[in-house]
Amino acid sequence: MSKGIKGLAVAALTPLARLQRRLLEPLGRLWSHTRLRERIRFPLDPSVVVLGVPEIHGTGNIRLGRQLYLYPGLYLETQGTGEIRIGDEVVISRGVHLVAFERIQIGEGSMIGEYSGIRDANHRTGTDRALRWSGHESRPITIGRQVWIGRGVTVLPGVSIGDGAVIGANAVVTQDIPAGAVAVGIPARVVKSASTDRPVEASR
């Protein structure tokens, strides 16, 4: 096939490929939405955009708000009486893990960056049993409204993050973060406080 003819063939296929994408993408979202709705215990609002079927483990005790935007590759797990509650207009990016043995609550308008992990439980250590069967110790996690959690962040049990806070990429949050603050690092430390709106001097 000559370059000219080959080019015409590709050009002719391009509109068809675009049409197929326009038709298939809504069907894919509808399928993902339906599968998620079947796997959780509470109603799923039609306004929730589900770009890929999340991996659901455990009890399915998950409450999702309206107008969420859920990227592919999500892992959502609830065990025992644990619950996950997510407010309206939250964005959860690709590969995020949420694991609740007690409670994870995310306030409206918050955004969770790619591959972040939020787990309210740890394996119990120091017992005679194998680690796998040693049980868990859990404390609830609360993330406020309009919180921005960067890519690759880890949030540990018992942490509360206040409204409007920002957590820098790859941080490990081991203690409470005040509202409006910016926190970065391992462990995460506040580098900008909402009360002063100025950088906080790092402790030596």
Catalytic residue among 33, 57, 97, 123: 123
What is the pLDDT averaged over residues 39-67? 96
Residue 185 lies in a domain: yes
33 is catalytic: no
pLDDT confidence of residue 204? 29
The whole model's pTM is what? 0.82
Count of structural domains, the chain? 1
CATH code (residue 107): 2.160.10.10
Helix, coil or strand: residue 38: helix
The set of residues, in sequence order, having a beta carbon less than 8 Å from that of 159 and lying 6+ positions away, is 141, 142, 173, 174, 175, 176, 177
Local confidence band at 10 (pLDDT 50, 70, 90 cut-offs)? low
pLDDT confidence of residue 199? 57
Local confidence band at 5 (pLDDT 50, 70, 90 cut-offs)? low
Residue 25 lies in a domain: yes
The Cα 3–Cα 9 span in angstroms is 10
| Cβ-contact 89, 109 below 8 angstroms | yes
pLDDT digits (tens, 9 = 90+) for 130-166: 878 887 889 999 999 999 999 999 999 999 999 999 9
